[in-house]
């Protein structure tokens, strides 16, 4: 963890600051995805409101984590008990400083504590490399609920480093486990 950076569980009082992070990160860092299209932006940003964020925090099956420094919250991630990393965003001015990795580590740790074996996320164009550096594999293209083409990325949390099967697609068809 970078000096001066801490992660902690989000609380309802963080909702407004979290919305600022989400909105600024999407507007400035996801331009290749939304291309300033008003319809996409309205859909993507429409639920990034303090009351909605507070509701997400309150859901027991969710874990929202914030990264903060002395100047306030600089990043946020949300994972649920189904293994969906619903969001992971960092303020543009705090990117490439270890904030995203700290959030991802915290979200994955919570998933492991829940017994989640696989994490998945709809990755943006600019997030591909970030997730690949931390072991996420690309299972192909998908469309998000707000109309953006995305990469369906996934990571096997209980994988043994160097084990066979690192390139398989996101499915349980070869695992012998029924879900």
| Rounded Cα–Cα distance for residues 126 and 146 (Å) | 17
CA-based nearest residue to 90, from 111, 68, 70: 68
- pTM value is 0.84
List residues bridging with 141 in a β-sheet: 151
Query: pLDDT by residue (tens digit) across 63-122?
Result: 999 999 999 999 999 999 999 999 999 999 999 999 999 999 999 999 999 999 999 999
Instruction: Return the CATH number of 6-119, one of 3.30.460.80, 3.40.50.970, 3.40.50.10490, 3.40.630.30.
Output: 3.40.630.30
Alpha carbon distance, N-terminus to C-terminus of the chain: 35
The pLDDT score that the predictor gives to residue 54 is: 98
- In the beta sheet, which residues pair with residue 150? 142
pLDDT in the model for residue 33: 87
Q: What is the pLDDT of residue 149?
A: 87
Phi–psi pair at 51, nearest 5 degrees: -65, -40
């Amino acid at each position: 963890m970078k000096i001066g950076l801490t992660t902690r569980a989000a609380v309802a009082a963080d909702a407004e600051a979290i919305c600022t992070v989400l909105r600024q990160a999407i507007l400035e860092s996801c331009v290749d995805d939304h291309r300033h299209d008003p319809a996409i932006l309205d859909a993507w940003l429409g639920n990034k409101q303090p009351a909605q964020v507070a509701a997400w925090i309150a859901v027991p099956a969710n874990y929202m984590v914030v990264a903060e420094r002395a100047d306030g919250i600089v990043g946020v991630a949300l994972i649920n008990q189904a293994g969906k990393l619903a969001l992971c965003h960092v303020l543009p001015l705090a990117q490439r400083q270890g904030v995203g990795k700290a959030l991802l580590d915290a979200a994955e740790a919570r998933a492991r504590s829940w017994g989640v074996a696989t994490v998945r996320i709809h990755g943006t164009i600019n997030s591909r490399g970030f997730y690949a550096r931390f072991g996420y594999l690309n299972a192909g293209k998908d469309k998000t609920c707000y109309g953006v083409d995305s990469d369906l990325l996934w990571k096997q949390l209980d994988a043994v480093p160097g084990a066979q099967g690192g390139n398989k697609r996101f499915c349980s068809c070869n695992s012998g486990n029924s879900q």
